[in-house]
Amino acid sequence: MTRVLVRRPSPALAEGELTHFERVPVDYDLALRQWQQYVAALDAAGFAPIELAPADDQPDGVFVEDTVVLLGSVAVLTNPGADSRKGEIDSMANALSDLGFEIHRISAPGTLEGGDVLKIGKTIYVGRSSRTNDEGIRQLAAIGSANGYETITVPVTKTLHLKSQVTALPDGTVIGHPDIVDAPESFATYLDVPEIEGIAVVVVGDDAVLISASAPRTAELLRSRGLNVVETPITEFEKMEGCVTCLSVRARVLD
């Protein structure tokens, strides 16, 4: 069984960090309902949810992906580039320690956020962004190399994180939207999708993905490629530069 780590949104969600988006009103009650639907969709796909301790004083705490990078049995706790997010790390550390992961940490002056990390097989693509710096990438690459991973750095200037512009399908094909991808040539196999909201997918099976309900044309494109596509609404999180990947961390149960 694979666990999925999640955290319910803070009532202060609308006060979270924004880098590329203009601030607009966020409906917290709707955000909470959408988060519950998202968790239910993962549960239905066979993932066992583990809810991290609430962090009502952390507006961005719902975006748990940014706090850790999992490399097999190794958990690399990040050092977020946004100071306001550093208080999110300890609760993730406690949960992963309880699950038996070997814990490593990115230390200052290195910064790293999990949204900048895209793993495909034994390759780690890391976005050099406003939140992840060269020293953070160096530290992650060293840990990755010790565990059999190769690291490739990708420039990120058009979005908050690397996974705000590309993610990968179950077969390793990287998808993105031409308006926001900095370096599509970085990836061995790349496919444009028709909607910006459609670039983010969570792989939930060998032929199944979870995607935002804001991208119906992308969902149809992926279905035409033989994928089972589960759509879930996340509009309130998209307003805060979030997507389906950053709302959870999938963690395989260790023997």
- Enumerate the active-site residues: 161, 246
Q: Please tell me whether residue 66 adopts helix, strand or coil conformation.
A: helix
Residue 140: phi, psi to the nearest 5? -65, -40
Between CA 39 and CA 8 the distance in angstroms is 10
Handedness of CA 137, 140, 142, 145 (dihedral sign): negative
Encode 181-219 in three state secondary structure: CCCHHHCCCEEECCCHHHCCEEEEECCEEEEECCCHHHH
Residue 163 · residue 246 · CB < 8 Å? yes
Instruction: From residue 215, give the alpha-carbon distance in Å to each of 139, 171, 174, 210.
Output: 35, 20, 17, 11
End-to-end CA distance of the chain: 11
The number of beta carbons lying within 10 Å of the beta carbon of residue 188 is 10
CA-based nearest residue to 158, from 128, 119, 113 = 128
